[in-house]
A and B are shown apart, each in its own frame.
Chain A
Amino acid sequence: MPLTILNNQLGGVPPKAKDRVFDRKGKKPEHYYRDQLFELEEKGELVVHRIAEEQDAVEIETKYGRKKKVPRDMTWHHKSCGQCGHIPGYSTSIFWLLRELGYTYEDPRDQTSCTAWNYYASSTSNPAAQAAVALRNFAQAYEDGYYPIIHCGTSYGHYKEVREELIHHPKLRDQTKRVMDKLGKPMVFPEEIVHYSEWVHVMRDAIAEHQTLDFSDITVTVHPACHYHKLVVEDAVYDKELYDGQRTAVVSSLVKALGANLADYSTWHDCCGFGFRHILVSRDFSRSFATIRKIERMKEEANPDVTLTHDTGCVTTLDKSQFAAKAHGRNVGIPVMSDAQFAALAMGAHPYKICQLHWHGVDNRPLMEKMGIDHEAAWTEFEEIAAKVKSGEIEYMSWEDC
């Protein structure tokens, strides 16, 4: 019987990181908001909007191992407020992907802004108003028979905070209920709050199957949105295959699936510069942070062809801050777009009619050339359509024109 002491691992140097294998086990957090929502439903306080079977949901792993359901079909497109005006190609790319991959969706025309941005800047609103806005949108999706998915990181993160507040504060539930009664809408909360990058994550292989462009020469850096992975962290999606399950998998997983080179840089964890409030109250700081801490570092360390992110605020801050730094002769000039736009380009979407890259600040023509897109021909086509709108021949561009 070997009862002597073993002198283990002489030399003692720990294994290299690549040989350390993360195996998620051990104690799991006990309280899940999902169970708490169902408890509230049982008490008759609200209705939980469940993901229905026909919505073709996929279960994916979150930071602490809980499985999160992401519906693929019959989704309700929760838009972003001001930021969508800056990059309309984010939403249109999502619609295009949904259509190409054969899924139905609702593009609501009466969705309310989540108002979280002003809340972060301490300029408006109160918890009851915040919660009522969230619930009004969720009730609308429920009544429309579609499941809400959000692409704005601010709305996504903030709704999760609202969820926490509603679960824990009976008084807030009561106040919100009174607002909802006045609106004639039910108190509804979705069982999962889902972000579009999670939808893209579960669709990445299907997107890759429909890929028409070769991205093997394209180097990509990723900026994960703070509102996505730092706020209510336990809800963000992780995958053992990506960074050993140590960084959120969304966006990066798409880059890999499309065969592009995923490049790392030292400030990946930093904010894009938008901040929760800085872009409103301290804009110069935002611009400097975006360019000096993020873009210049990426340039120096990875020199990517494009950087991808998954929030309207992050796309605009990273993209539209660069012109000022460029004017000062700094080392900038990286095109920025959302994961959905990148996926749509890979599947052959029109760079202007669908992805609307002309709204972006940084010159993205060299990137398109590297991707094998004839951007001159594409621009000519786009101008032809624009001329028809201008002449009154057509009122607006429709899917038939795309």
Chain B
Amino acid sequence: MEHNPILVIGAGPAGLEAARGAADLGYKTLLVEKAPVLGGNPILADYAAITPDMENAERAMKRMIDAIIEDPLVEVRSETTVTAAAGDAPEITVTLAGPKGEEQITVGSVIVCTGFQHFDPGRETQMYGYYEYDDVITLVDCERMLKAENFVQPSTGDKPKRVCFIQCVGSRDRQIGNFWCSKVCCGIACKEAIEIREMVPDCQVFVFYIDMRMYGFWEDEIYWKAQEDHKVNFIRGIVTEITKRGDQVVIKGEDTTMGRPVEVPMDVVILSVGMEPSEGTTETAEIFQMPLESHGFIETVGGALNTVTTARPGCFAAGASTGPADLEDSISMAGAAVMKAAGFLRKHTLAASKSV
């Protein structure tokens, strides 16, 4: 069955799974990745362990990469982006821009897996001082230290004694226009809290939250574990302000359970930054004229029963390019997208062969 290849854009968890799935089904696949390495945010942002199994992120992603790298049906182009697209599926001619210049290729179907970017805390409504204080860091900065097995107070290099997380940074905030819950940051904060407690047993860890959103198995596998086995303290209340007194950062906010203000010095404050559509997601949507949904992610049109079909026939989207998603969502969506793309191509090639 002759067909134009399936184009997968973005080689994060969703894109890798889509490429693997398409090849497993016997379809030629072209995987295009902007970065020089594969693996998406878990690699680019140096994640340490991944929830819920706490597997080493690098090892987990390597397994995904190994599954496609030797497959003759998958052609991988790194440091490459799609800059233009003309025509309709199953005959879309895309222009690729990569290290060797520009090239035009005709593809049969497209799966967009261009993912998310982390919220920049400089745009936060509250006064968190990420650009002012060394010891105010993000979930991502924390992942890097955990990956290097070197969790320290950045300003001194010493082991910290008191660390806190502040949830919902850049999420659930009407003022900055990010109306959504980023879905993963509650779980990731619990995971990092556990890792910190294991790495620095003398360190007290606090999590300030509006409400902890731990769906499914993350509830007992991560959240309860953090509280019960690792003695992480959860405080319901928003921190509105971080300032510095002497060598320490001081957090100010309200403990809404106790109904009183809190003002506590901390050695390290970790901002649980949420997810926003990546620049690649916004640009790719424009190139393929795929409408964005109201939050700025790629719109899928099938409602709850079809999470991957976009308004462009033959074009699908998976993972965090469609909205906040954890790995389980991203991988499942990639599988669904491959199934739809393969189905689309098969129908068109069968129809073409019948008409011949």
Q: Chain A interface (Cβ within 8 Å of chain B)?
A: 1-14, 16-17, 20-30, 64, 233-234, 243-247, 264, 266-269, 301
Q: Are B176 and A9 in contact (CB under 8 A)?
A: no
Q: Which residue of A lies closest to B45 (CB)?
A: A8
Residues from chain B with Cβ under 8 Å of A269 in the complex:
127, 241, 243, 252
Given contacts A13-B144, A24-B122, 16 further A-B contacts (CB under 8 A): A5-B43, A5-B65, A8-B43, A12-B144, A12-B150, A17-B136, A20-B130, A23-B120, A25-B120, A26-B119, A26-B123, A27-B177, A64-B175, A245-B131, A246-B127, A246-B131
Given B78, B120, B141, B250, which contacts A3 in the complex, CB threshold below 8 Å? B78
Given A2, A7, A23, A243, which contacts B58 in the complex, CB threshold below 8 Å? A7
Residues from chain B with Cβ under 8 Å of A245 in the complex:
122, 131
Q: Are B78 and A2 in contact (CB under 8 A)?
A: yes
Given B39, B44, B123, B132, which contacts A24 in the complex, CB threshold below 8 Å? B123
Asked if B189 lies at the interface with its beta carbon under 8 angstroms from chain A, I say no
Q: Which residue of B lies closest to A246 (CB)?
A: B131
Q: How far is the CA of A162 from the CA of B231 in the complex (A)?
A: 48
Given contacts A5-B62, A17-B132, A64-B176, contact A246 B241 (CB under 8 A): no
Could you mark each residue 86-122 of chain B with 1 if its beta carbon is under 8 Å from any beta carbon of chain A, else 0? Answer: 0000000000000000000000000000000101101
Residues from chain A with Cβ under 8 Å of B279 in the complex:
25
Q: Are B176 and A246 in contact (CB under 8 A)?
A: no
Q: Are A9 and B148 in contact (CB under 8 A)?
A: yes
Asked if B134 lies at the interface with its beta carbon under 8 angstroms from chain A, I say yes
Q: Are A14 and B141 in contact (CB under 8 A)?
A: yes
Q: Are A268 and B69 in contact (CB under 8 A)?
A: no
Q: How far is the CA of A10 from the CA of B69 in the complex (A)?
A: 25
Q: Are A3 and B69 in contact (CB under 8 A)?
A: yes
Given contacts A12-B46, A14-B145, contact A22 B122 (CB under 8 A): yes
Q: What's the minimum C-beta distance from B354 to chain A, rounded to whole angstroms?
A: 40
Mind listing 23 A-B residue pairs with CB under 8 Å?
A2-B36, A2-B37, A3-B37, A5-B38, A5-B62, A6-B37, A8-B44, A9-B148, A13-B148, A14-B137, A16-B155, A17-B129, A17-B132, A17-B133, A17-B134, A22-B131, A23-B122, A25-B279, A27-B176, A27-B178, A28-B177, A64-B123, A269-B252
Q: Are A5 and B148 in contact (CB under 8 A)?
A: no
Asked if B146 lies at the interface with its beta carbon under 8 angstroms from chain A, I say yes
Q: What's the minimum C-beta distance from A29 to chain B, rounded to whole angstroms?
A: 4
Residues from chain A with Cβ under 8 Å of B131 in the complex:
17, 20-22, 243-246
Q: Are B132 and A13 in contact (CB under 8 A)?
A: no
Q: What's the minimum C-beta distance from A42 to chain B, rounded to whole angstroms?
A: 24
Q: Which residue of B lies closest to A22 (CB)?
A: B122
CB interface residues, B 124-165, toward A, < 8 Å: 125, 127, 129-134, 136-137, 141, 144-148, 150, 152, 154-155, 157
User: Of B150, B243, B277, which is in contact with the most chain A CB atoms at under 10 Å from its CB?
Assistant: B243
Asked if B245 lies at the interface with its beta carbon under 8 angstroms from chain A, I say yes
Residues from chain A with Cβ under 8 Å of B145 in the complex:
12-14
Q: Are B132 and A244 in contact (CB under 8 A)?
A: yes
Q: Chain B interface (Cβ within 8 Å of chain A)?
A: 36-39, 43-44, 46, 58, 61-62, 65, 69, 76, 78, 117, 119-120, 122-123, 125, 127, 129-134, 136-137, 141, 144-148, 150, 152, 154-155, 157, 175-178, 241, 243-245, 250, 252, 276-277, 279, 296
Q: Are B148 and A10 in contact (CB under 8 A)?
A: yes
Q: Are A12 and B148 in contact (CB under 8 A)?
A: yes
Q: Are A8 and B46 in contact (CB under 8 A)?
A: yes
User: Of A7, A12, A64, which is in contact with the most chain B CB atoms at under 10 Å from its CB?
Assistant: A12
Q: How far is the CA of A64 from the CA of B174 in the complex (A)?
A: 12
Residues from chain A with Cβ under 8 Å of B141 in the complex:
14
Q: How far is the CA of A2 from the CA of B78 in the complex (A)?
A: 8
Residues from chain A with Cβ under 8 Å of B134 in the complex:
14, 16-17
Q: Are B65 and A3 in contact (CB under 8 A)?
A: yes
Q: What's the minimum C-beta distance from A157 to chain B, rounded to whole angstroms?
A: 15
Q: What's the minimum C-beta distance from A241 to chain B, rounded to whole angstroms?
A: 12
Q: Are B277 and A233 in contact (CB under 8 A)?
A: no
Q: Are A1 and B76 in contact (CB under 8 A)?
A: yes
Residues from chain B with Cβ under 8 Å of A17 in the complex:
129-134, 136
Q: Are B122 and A6 in contact (CB under 8 A)?
A: no
Q: Which residue of A lies closest to B146 (CB)?
A: A12
Q: How far is the CA of A20 from the CA of B276 in the complex (A)?
A: 20
Given contacts A14-B154, A26-B117, A269-B241, contact A244 B178 (CB under 8 A): no
